[in-house]
């Protein structure tokens, strides 16, 4: 389970901790690892963003982190520390290969989580938050470190990565004029600041798809510079939605490649949505990345 913010609607939650436990209750009850980040409404109650991420990181089966460890902020080549990172909920997770396989101790898929903030005043104008340079610096560093550890002549393609944050980047607006899969039902509520997130992903070369929240009634996927950007669509009932439009969850499936003796790398990444209707309908299935098409 990956929960991408606006986990609670803070202004109508008199006890943030109690609301958080209720929001993440199904994930904890599943007994499966889960991760979360913050949206722009979570901190509007009784806990600030640092306190919220601390609480989330301590919940049962949560693999969420408050921020990167000191090790991941240290450049292995120079030994220098990266500057203090902005926000709370910036971290990466490594998905390892199948148990007993030749890649059991190697990451076959990397997950990057970023805090896109809430609301700020920029140049005298109130706007939404954005991903800061310190976060992008850390992201580039972690990507380089991971790719350096996972270099394998047998599998020359970079280990694929997925990125997750709440507030969309300004370029998402361009998708209104492009081919998309899903529904574009409300304006893209992004920051006035373009902090070069897209350019960073392109330069890294490993991020194949990005997943965002914030605009609850958008559920589409569209491509920008060969990277898919996908909305979750909004599954919770505490935030706003649209009458007659079922709440939905986005499913992400990573399929392993079958080698001669064991499972190997991720071969394909797919996504679709499940609706909260009588049939739990499956819609908009698509391939986000295929190793065979990336050679």
Residue 160 has pLDDT above 90, yes or no: yes
**In contact, 209 and 231? CB cutoff 8 Å:** no
Structure tokens at 186: 């409300």
Which pLDDT belongs to residue 78? 63
Question: How would residue 154 be classed by pLDDT, with cut points 50, 70 and 90?
Answer: low
What confidence tens digit (pLDDT) does each residue in 243-261 have?
999 999 999 999 999 988 8
| Residue 85 structure tokens | 């990172």
Predicted model pTM = 0.94
24-49 mean pLDDT: 95
The model's confidence at residue 12, banded by pLDDT at 50, 70 and 90, is: confident
Is the pLDDT reported for residue 66 higher than 90?
Answer: yes
With a CB cutoff of 8 Å and minimum separation 6, the contacts of 67 are 53, 85, 87, 88, 89, 90, 91
pLDDT for the residue 13: 86
Name the one residue in this structure whose structure tokens are 């499956």: 282
Mean pLDDT value across the chain: 92
Q: Show the domains of the chain with their CATH numbers.
A: 67-242 (3.30.750.180)
Q: How far apart are CA 21 and CA 82, in angstroms?
A: 33
Torsion, Cα 186 188 190 196, to 10 degrees, reads: 160
Band (122; pLDDT cuts 50, 70, 90):
very high
Q: For position 261, what pLDDT does the model report?
A: 86
- Reference 236, options 6, 81, 12; nearest CA is 6
Name the pLDDT band for 133 (thresholds 50, 70, 90): very high
């Amino acid at each position: 389970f990956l929960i991408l913010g606006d986990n609670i609607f803070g202004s109508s939650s008199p006890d943030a901790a109690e609301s958080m436990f209720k929001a993440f209750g199904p994930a904890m009850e599943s007994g499966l690892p889960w991760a979360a980040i913050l949206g722009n409404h979570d901190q509007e109650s009784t806990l600030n963003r640092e306190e919220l991420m601390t609480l989330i990181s301590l919940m049962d089966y949560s693999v969420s982190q408050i921020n990167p460890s000191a090790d991941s902020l240290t450049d292995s080549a120079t030994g220098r520390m990266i500057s203090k990172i902005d926000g709370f909920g910036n971290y990466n997770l490594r998905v390892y290969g199948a148990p007993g396989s030749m890649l059991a101790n190697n990451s076959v898929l990397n997950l990057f989580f970023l805090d896109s903030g809430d609301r700020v005043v920029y140049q005298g104008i109130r706007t939404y938050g954005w991903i800061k340079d310190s976060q992008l610096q850390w992201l580039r560093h972690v990507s380089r470190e991971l790719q350096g550890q996972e270099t394998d002549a047998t599998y020359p393609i970079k280990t694929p990565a997925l990125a997750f944050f709440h507030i969309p980047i300004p370029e998402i607006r361009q998708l209104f004029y492009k081919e998309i899969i899903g529904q574009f039902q409300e304006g893209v509520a992004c920051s006035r600041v373009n902090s070069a997130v897209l350019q960073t992903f392109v330069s890294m070369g490993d991020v194949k798809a990005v997943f965002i929240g914030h605009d609850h009634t958008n559920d589409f996927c569209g491509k920008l510079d060969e990277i898919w950007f996908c909305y979750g669509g909004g599954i919770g009932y505490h935030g706003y939605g649209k009458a007659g439009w079922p709440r939905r969850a986005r499913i992400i499936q990573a399929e392993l490649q079958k080698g001669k003796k064991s499972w190997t790398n991720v071969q394909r990444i797919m996504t679709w949505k499940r609706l909260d209707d009588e049939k739990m309908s499956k819609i908009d299935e698509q391939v986000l990345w295929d190793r065979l098409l990336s050679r």
